Structure 1
Amino acid sequence: MRLRDQGWSIGAAAREVGASRTAGYNWARGYKTYRDGAVVGFVPALDQREVRQISPRFLSEDDRVRIADLQHTGARENEIAAALGRAPSTISREPARNTTSQGGYRPFEAHRLSAGRRGCDRVRRIDRNTRLWAVVDEQLQSRWSPQQISRHLEETSPTTPRCD
């Protein structure tokens, strides 16, 4: 996906990572699954948020698998936290946040849910609001610092929420 983001074609990116062109197309566009000649499902394209490298301060898929394995052995949260080098609060929050409706903690499903909650590609407020863009541009031209602009915007429109 990183090579695709850099402008590589699907075939070239697949060749570069040692996969077939067909596998590359499947990753990029998704594919149908068949049984006895009939379509039985669809595997969606890879979500860029799921496959991109994330900061080590977040739980990885391997960490989630270890949490599930240690839970199955009967380890307590403090023991799991020590084994992973994490805070006990992180370990207690993880199953609570990512337990499925069928019950139980499923690490791969938990990782997928976590990736879905990660920051989305969204249009910034300044890109949607031309008046705001004009105010910020004018202040930048007047050599205001970003902190000064932020403070000015908070004072002049205090009811505007900081996040959309």
Structure 2
Amino acid sequence: MTKVLFVCLGNICRSPMAEAVFRHKVKKAGLEASIQAASAGTGDWNLGKEPHEGTKTILDAHHISYQGMISKLIKLEDFHDYDLIIAMDASNVSNLRKFAANKEDVVIRQLLEFYPERGITDVPDPYYTGNFDEVYEMIDRSCEQLLAWIVQQEKRQT
């Protein structure tokens, strides 16, 4: 079982969008028994809230479920429980590395590492930019390539 945790700042826009899109792709690929996904935030001001309206609108438009998703805060045990922690931007990576200072075995990557042809490293926060369509496109493509990467890694291990 490969467990992936998507992380952004408030866990209401980017990381829940990535979680929902990735879960959708995993389900379409028939890999639900071997790959799980969740999301969390590094900031605590949105705890217990549903995804942002902009995130819900774009996911609804693409027929992707976000049922039952609520904002939660990253916990120290997440660094043990998840195989991959996927951050939305460099600031998230920095916060995660500080939080997990003594956890060298944790794999922390930025989502756009899986979409290098995009030419940028940070997924912009649509909470501030309002550009949920652009963020969805980045997340959709990155999650597609992340899933292919995970499948390839699993094949190498067998």
Would you call these one fold, judging by a TM-score over 0.5? no
TM-score, length-normalised on structure 2? Answer: 0.25
The one of the two structures with greater contact order (alpha-carbon pairs below 8 A, sep at least 6) is 2
